[in-house]
Amino acid sequence: MWSLTALSAILLASLATASPLDKRETIEECLTSSGVPYDTKNGNDWNQDVAPFNRRLPFTPAAIAVPKTTEHVRLAVACATKLGLKVSPKGGGHSYASYGLGGENGHLVVELDRMNKITVDQTTYIASVEAGSRLGHVLTELNKQGKRAISHGTCPGVGVAGHALHGGFGFSSHSKGLAVDWIVGATVVLANATVVNCSSTENPDLLWALKGAGSSYGIVTTFFFKTFAAPSQTTSFTANLNWNNVQNTVKGWTALQEYTANTMPAEMNMRVFGNAYSTQLQGLYHGNSSQLQAAIQPLMSSLGTSLSSRQTDWIGGFTAYSNGQTVDVSHPYNIQETFFSKSLTTTALNNTAMTSAVNYWLSTAKSTSRDWYIIIDMHGGKNSYISSVPKNESSYAHRDALFLYEFYDRVYSGSYPSNGFSFLNGWVNAFTSKLDASQWGMYINYADPTMSRKEAQDVYYRGNLGRLQSIKAAMDPEEVFYFPQAIEPVK
Ligand SMILES: Cc1cc2nc3c(=O)[nH]c(=O)nc-3n(C[C@H](O)[C@H](O)[C@H](O)COP(=O)(O)OP(=O)(O)OC[C@H]3O[C@@H](n4cnc5c(N)ncnc54)[C@H](O)[C@@H]3O)c2cc1C
Ligand SMILES: *[C@@H]1O[C@H](CO)[C@@H](O)[C@H](O)[C@H]1NC(C)=O
Ligand SMILES: *[C@@H]1O[C@H](CO)[C@@H](O)[C@H](O)[C@H]1NC(C)=O
Ligand SMILES: *[C@@H]1O[C@H](CO)[C@@H](O)[C@H](O)[C@H]1NC(C)=O
Ligand SMILES: *[C@@H]1O[C@H](CO)[C@@H](O)[C@H](O)[C@H]1NC(C)=O
Ligand SMILES: *[C@@H]1O[C@H](CO)[C@@H](O)[C@H](O)[C@H]1NC(C)=O
């Protein structure tokens, strides 16, 4: 006679070799007996939670747990490791590579967006933020609870978790840094299904790894953010750029580069936004409109353009760039696009590199019928908060970059064309072929899953990769938290 434990050992052993998608019933049984809520396959919640922001990259999880507490998350991780399943936390689901779904089929997805409680301590002004909160909700609650703020990006539906764990750039970043720069601690469920806190004094290596490469180390259930007093006045502005030939563009960009590197005051935040139809300087000044005018005048005369501006408050500064979307958004969230995107970070460009990039922009990009855009963020420079943060504070690897770029190409119907990739690859190559490796990198928050794992880890993490890999080897040697570009455990 087989004993019950021997039978279940055999069952578990055969399950470990079964394909992950075949483990749905057993993982659901484990979640049920542990009291962890999960979505019924193909039910309304399942269909909602499995819908990726990037429609180009759908994946089918083995199961979707929908925890309400840290203990639920811990129990869900325990179920997955018992069955040999990979685990992927999903925050706002905005990964360009659908890494919140694992970036491949068969993961246990831990959907966090029902966990979105936010409390600001009224003595320390430290905010405790549940990890399923989206940026618009964080903005709203921090403002309500004492007019506080952290720095972050522009889209209300982006999850604070994926965003802050890998950087988080927006219209306050030159003034106030990346979202990651406001993290002071976190409660985390580790690969061995234990819960720990980390801070500068408790598990500091884990905190360092989370601050830039968080998705490879555990599931953050609560963030602790220090906050700043939100500026009461902000002024949003745009200026049209007459960048219609190579000479104008190189001249204008060179002036902008010089301003960003040396003159741009801390209160100024801006980017260049270009598409097939126009090229604009867009910004948000932390201050009133007359202060903005004084600060930007030197640049306006060298660019030969003029400003259109609107003075507003802190929330108004956010809605100036959030495309009319609902600000305080939680669940459900329904926006999707079909696209391919790439990122780049560079130091200041010399004439060779800038001319190469501009040639591609004005000849190749301007002459296709594709729906593309490029964003050039003013990331670094003498007065940038991002550049002022010590390099060893976080695993975010691009403190020296003057510019952060996003390249985006989308379709409005049908699937993304297979010949689409070469268009953006060519554009990035127009820069990198004229740069040394020490002068550029890439940003995992605009993940490009067409890169190999090795190349991705290198360009995302550069000099920090070695330390990240040994922390991974110590904390998650079996790669429970895996996606195709996750940090590899290397001793
Ligand atoms: C419309 C749009 C606008 C954007 N705007 C900006 C912008 O202005 N600035 C900017 O810097 N970026 C921007 N991004 C990029 C965005 O910051 C990243 O895609 C970010 O990673 C999304 O986080 P998420 O939680 O929504 O995504 P998810 O897909 O849920 O997660 C992204 C990654 O983080 C991991 N993760 C999620 N939650 C946790 C957790 N609790 N613990 C550990 N790991 C976790 C996931 O497993 C996955 O690997 C934008 C993206 C979109 C789609
Ligand atoms: C983590 O910190 C929070 C807030 O201080 C505390 O409530 C919790 O008990 C801590 N958890 C662990 C595992 O130390
Ligand atoms: C802007 O602020 C400055 C300094 O406080 C003040 O002198 C100026 O009058 C203000 N301008 C406007 C338009 O509010
Ligand atoms: C960074 O380095 C400085 C100087 O060596 C040190 O004092 C500090 O503790 C380090 N910070 C971290 C987070 O490792
Ligand atoms: C620009 O930098 C690249 C890479 O270092 C170099 O090959 C090129 O000669 C430089 N061009 C100019 C004009 O300095
Ligand atoms: C879980 O992993 C952490 C990090 O590697 C380790 O410090 C801890 O001892 C482990 N706990 C158990 C119960 O194995």
- Output the residue whose Cα is nearest ligand 6's atom 6: 475
Instruction: Give yes or no for residue 324 CB within 6 A of ligand 4.
Output: no
Across the range 342-359, mean pLDDT stands at 98
For the stretch 210-255, pLDDT in tens is 999 999 999 999 999 999 999 999 999 999 999 999 999 999 999 9
Percent of the chain with pLDDT over 90: 94
Determine what percent of the chain is predicted with pLDDT higher than 70. Answer: 97
Residue 363 is classified by DSSP as I
Give the model confidence (pLDDT) of 297-321 as tens digits. 989 989 999 999 999 999 999 999 9
Regarding the beta carbon of 126 and ligand 2, being less than 6 Å apart is answered no
pLDDT at 1: 44
Question: How far is 231 from 241, CA to CA, in rounded Å?
Answer: 28
The pocket around ligand 5, CB under 6 angstroms, is made up of 350-353, 434-436
Residue 57 confidence (pLDDT) above 90: yes
**Phi, psi at residue 215, to the nearest 5°?**
-65, -15
- Confidence band, pLDDT 50/70/90 cuts, at residue 21: confident
371 phi and psi angles, rounded to 5 deg: -100, 90
| Predicted TM-score of the model (pTM) | 0.96
Q: Would you state the pLDDT for residue 2?
A: 45
Ligand 2 atom closest to the CA of 185, numbered from 1: 2
Give how far Cα 121 sits from Cα of 125, 129, 146, Å: 5, 11, 9
- Mean pLDDT, rounded, for 247-265: 98
Distance from residue 192's CA to the centre of ligand 6 (Å)? 6
CA 184 – ligand 2 centroid, Å? 14
What was the pLDDT predicted at 20? 85
334 vs 63, more confident: 63
Q: What is the DSSP string of 213-272?
A: HGGGT-EEEEEEE--EEPPS-EEEEEEE----SHHHHHHHHHHHHHIIIII--TTEEEEE
CA–centroid distance, 272 to ligand 1, in Å, is 22
Q: Is the pLDDT of residue 476 over 70?
A: yes
pLDDT higher than threshold 90 for residue 263: yes
Closest ligand 2 atom to 197 CA: 1
For residues 203 and 120, the answer to whether their CB atoms sit within 8 Å is no
Band (22; pLDDT cuts 50, 70, 90): confident
pLDDT band per the 50, 70, 90 thresholds, residue 396: very high
196 lines ligand 2 (CB under 6 A): yes
Q: What is the mean pLDDT of the chain?
A: 96
- Ligand 3 centroid vs 95 CA: distance in angstroms? 41
